[in-house]
């Protein structure tokens, strides 16, 4: 009788131990087979927020009053529904440092061949597309907005311009493909708005964007911004 009880207890403990091991292994397998966490924005937003009221406050350039993002004439320079991360932004170092021509420029991290759209309507006044990625010259499209300001879309890929000098483009029109030409260093779109002249050394000016998260002091480095319909 005693032997039977010991046998039953031993068998039960063995089953319990086996069950614990099985559950532990299953949990380990589940978590190790999950999709790796991708790099996320430093600021997480609720995509159901139709008022676009959420967004990080960028450092921006000191002492600058930025245009109201809600009424800005500019939209993000890429297709509605897509989202890209900001690398260098306003007064954030390197060529974008305070006091330099590109102090108000913004770098959008995107793969070569990404569709670029017009952030604002205007007339194409300059196109360069002969350069090859990782080499000079710097390919770009320049659009005159008709109010003494110019948008420059730089580092486009070889033969990556969809427009020609003299073309009039509407806001949101596809104008080219991103690349890594000139001094890019890596694939991205260098976007800058200049005043009085588009030619180097130009004077850049601060801009905000009306079709994304709130950006009172323009776009924040390290943040992913989605382009909403407008």
Q: What's the rounded Cα separation, in Å, for the pair 163 and 157? A: 14
In tens, the pLDDT along 38-65 reads 333 344 344 444 445 589 999 999 999 9
For the chain, percent of residues with pLDDT exceeding 70:
77
pLDDT in the model for residue 85: 98
Residue 81 makes CB contacts below 8 A (sequence gap 6+) with: 226, 227
pLDDT in the model for residue 211: 98
Per-residue buried b or exposed e for 55-80, using 16+ beta carbons within 10 Å of the residue's own CB: bbebebbeeeebbebeebbbbbbbee
Q: Are 189 and 108 in contact (CB under 8 A)?
A: yes
Q: Are 224 and 44 in contact (CB under 8 A)?
A: no
Distances (CA, A) of 71 to 57, 86, 89, 118, 220: 17, 21, 21, 17, 19
Topology of domain 40-230 in CATH is Glucose Permease (Domain IIA) (2.70.70)
pLDDT in the model for residue 54: 84
pLDDT in the model for residue 39: 36
In tens, the pLDDT along 63-119 reads 999 999 999 999 999 999 999 999 999 999 999 999 999 999 999 999 999 999 999
pLDDT in the model for residue 217: 98
pLDDT in the model for residue 53: 59
170: pLDDT strictly greater than 80: yes
Average pLDDT, integer, range 13-17: 43
Residue 126 makes CB contacts below 8 A (sequence gap 6+) with: 140, 141, 142, 165, 198
Q: Tell me the pLDDT of the chain averaged across its residues.
A: 84
| Tokens, residue 122 | 């205007």
| Tokens, residue 178 | 């991103």
- Lowest mean per-residue pLDDT among 28-32, 105-109, 172-176, 183-187: 28-32
Distances (CA, A) of 69 to 72, 75, 212: 5, 10, 9
DSSP codes joined into one string, 36-75: PPPP--SS---TT-TT---------STTPPPPPGGG-S--
pLDDT in the model for residue 52: 52
Per-domain residue ranges of the chain: 1-34, 40-230
5: pLDDT strictly greater than 90: no
The torsion defined by the Cα of 172, 174, 179 and 183, in degrees rounded to 10, comes to -60
Read off the pTM: 0.79
């Amino acid at each position: 009788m005693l032997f039977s009880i010991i046998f039953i207890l031993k068998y039960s403990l063995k089953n319990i131990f086996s069950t614990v091991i099985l559950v532990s292994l299953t949990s380990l397998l589940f978590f190790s087979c999950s999709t790796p966490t991708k790099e996320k924005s430093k600021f997480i937003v609720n995509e159901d927020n139709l008022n676009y009221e959420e967004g990080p406050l960028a450092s921006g350039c000191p002492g600058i009053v930025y245009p109201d993002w809600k009424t800005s004439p500019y939209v993000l320079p890429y297709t509605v529904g897509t989202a890209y991360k900001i690398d260098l932004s306003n007064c954030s170092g390197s060529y974008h440092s305070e006091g330099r021509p590109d102090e108000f420029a913004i770098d959008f991290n995107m793969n070569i061949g990404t569709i670029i759209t017009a952030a604002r309507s205007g007339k194409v006044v300059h196109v360069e597309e002969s350069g090859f990625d990782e080499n000079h010259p710097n390919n770009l499209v320049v659009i005159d907005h008709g109010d003494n300001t110019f948008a420059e879309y730089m580092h486009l890929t070889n033969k990556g311009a969809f427009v020609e000098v003299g073309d009039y483009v509407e806001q949101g029109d596809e104008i080219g493909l991103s690349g890594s030409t000139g001094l890019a260093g890596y694939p991205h779109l260098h976007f800058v708005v200049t005043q009085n002249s588009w030619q180097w050394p130009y004077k850049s000016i601060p801009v905000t964007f009306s079709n994304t998260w709130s950006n009172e002091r323009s776009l924040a480095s390290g943040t992913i911004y989605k382009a909403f319909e407008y």
